[in-house]
Amino acid sequence: MAPAAASSSALLPAGTFSTARPVAGRPAGQRLPTRVAAASRTTTARSPAACLSVGGRRRGAEAVRASAGGAPAASLPAALLFDCDGVLVDTEKDGHRISFNETFAERELGVSWDVELYGELLKIGGGKERMTAYFSKMGWPAKAPKTDDERKEFIASLHKRKTELFMALIEKKLLPLRPGVQRLIDEALGKGVKVAVCSTSNEKAVSAIVSCLLGPDRAEKITIFAGDVVPRKKPDPAIYLLAATTLGVDPSSCVVVEDSTIGLAAAKAAGMKCIVTKSGYILDSFPPPFSKTSYRRLRGRGAATAIPSFKKIKCRGAQLIQIHLQGAYLMDPRKYTAEEDFATADAVFDCIGDPPEVRFDLEFCANLLQKQFVS
């Protein structure tokens, strides 16, 4: 019997597919970086180091340049490495997810991934791996084969069709580049900095994004590392280490632009500087906090506590486990929060940004390699 379509709150608790904290893969003796707290949010509540200009505060990139205090210009990065989905284009919610669901519908599998569920599945690197993990957890469709080898072929065929549907969306240019992507790439290429895209997505899909949205001239100058080019996907650092080796650059001279915790973990494990630009999924994962009084009361009740029916809840030292139970959710104070997911990033922004709201530029990346800046 085919599994019914399900929401993540009912079937897939947050953390089911969670990865280890990024610091777990750090080589022994390597010092943790000081975070450049240049994050900004789309909500009215902003961090003290928000990258947008508020109340006379300088933008994040300007503040970092000013902190250099007239020192000689920093050397440019040897390479600028971009993730694809969520960094170049906000593809996940209205691109990949839609294409997966259309594929499932064509095959009459009785499966549909809603927005919240797909957000949890993004903690798994790679589309084929994502489907395999989901079906292994929730049950394989009735139309799926029974042996492991046949299931691998089944997953591969689903992923091939999903990629075709996704590429059709890209070719129609229904998903635009994120703000600042083209500007930063042009700046890097113009100054001789090598540019690459490192993604767990299918290579054809990534190539289509680069070629269709950045144009063939830029595409010729951008190296793509994607799909099954490495045996282990993010959060494993293999794809970033392969990029450094192929481009002939030292990992420590590279700056990575990522949007996810698994991508950040991969970049840091490779020994590279990493800037996080929060994608639509990440921005949506920061709900309004509830009161400290409520939090203290919950903390006093133990590790798993039923609370009133909030859609999402955020508090320091705890992460919502999204298990719907009689109009309530469960709170586990032992989990770390979404706020802490990017604690090892060298900088965090809401996007790269175009004028007049540029969040960071190539000079910012160069300064990042020389010194850790704080707000």
CATH number at residue 108: 1.10.150.240
Q: What is the mean pLDDT of residues 323-350?
A: 56
Strand partners, 44: none
Domain-located, residue 135: yes
Domain-located, residue 105: yes
Whether residues 49 and 130 fall in one domain? no
Confirm if 81 and 196 have CB atoms less than 8 A apart: yes
Q: What CATH number is attached to the domain comprising 182?
A: 3.40.50.1000
3-state secondary structure of 276: strand
Domain-located, residue 375: no
Whether residues 100 and 216 fall in one domain? no
> Domain containing 127: what range?
8-12+91-171
Query: What is the spatial distance between Cα 175 and Cα 340, in angstroms, rounded to a whole number?
Result: 29
Query: What is the spatial distance between Cα 176 and Cα 100, in angstroms, rounded to a whole number?
Result: 20
Q: 274-333 pLDDT, tens per residue?
A: 999 988 776 544 433 333 333 344 344 333 333 333 333 333 333 333 322 233 333 333
Q: 132-179 pLDDT, tens per residue?
A: 999 999 999 999 999 999 999 999 999 999 999 999 998 888 889 999
Query: What is the spatial distance between Cα 170 and Cα 213, in angstroms, rounded to a whole number?
Result: 8
Q: What's the pLDDT score for residue 308?
A: 37
As annotated, the active-site residues are 83, 85
Q: What's the pLDDT score for residue 282?
A: 67
Whether residues 325 and 357 fall in one domain? no
Structure tokens at 61: 């990139």
Whether residues 276 and 204 fall in one domain? yes
DSSP structure string for 194-229: EEEEEESS-HHHHHHHHHHHH-HHHHTTEEEEEGGG
Between residues 63 and 113, the one the model is more confident about:
113
Whether residues 243 and 148 fall in one domain? no
Q: Dihedral of CA 260/16/281/167: which sign?
A: positive
Q: What's the pLDDT score for residue 279?
A: 84
- Which of 171, 199, 230 is where one domain is finished? 171
Q: What is the mean pLDDT of residues 255-259?
A: 97
Q: What's the pLDDT score for residue 94?
A: 87
Mean pLDDT of the chain: 74
Domain-located, residue 280: yes
Whether residues 192 and 77 fall in one domain? yes
- C-alpha gyration radius of the chain: 21
Whether residues 242 and 267 fall in one domain? yes
Query: What is the spatial distance between Cα 372 and Cα 147, in angstroms, rounded to a whole number?
Result: 51
Domain-located, residue 138: yes
Whether residues 69 and 214 fall in one domain? yes
Whether residues 68 and 119 fall in one domain? no
Confirm if 332 and 16 have CB atoms less than 8 A apart: no
Q: What is residue 96's DSSP assignment?
A: I
Domain-located, residue 74: yes
- Which of 171, 189, 212 is where one domain is finished? 171
Domain-located, residue 25: no
How many CB atoms lie under 10 A from the CB of residue 348?
25
Whether residues 334 and 188 fall in one domain? no
Whether residues 232 and 346 fall in one domain? yes
Whether residue 188 is predicted with pLDDT greater than 80 in this model: the reply is yes
Domain-located, residue 2: no
Tell me which of 9-23, 75-89, 278-292 is least confident.
9-23
Q: Domain count of the chain?
A: 3
pLDDT band at 68 (very low <50, low <70, confident <90, very high): very low
Whether residues 165 and 187 fall in one domain? no
Strand partners, 348: 276
Structure tokens at 335: 């989990």
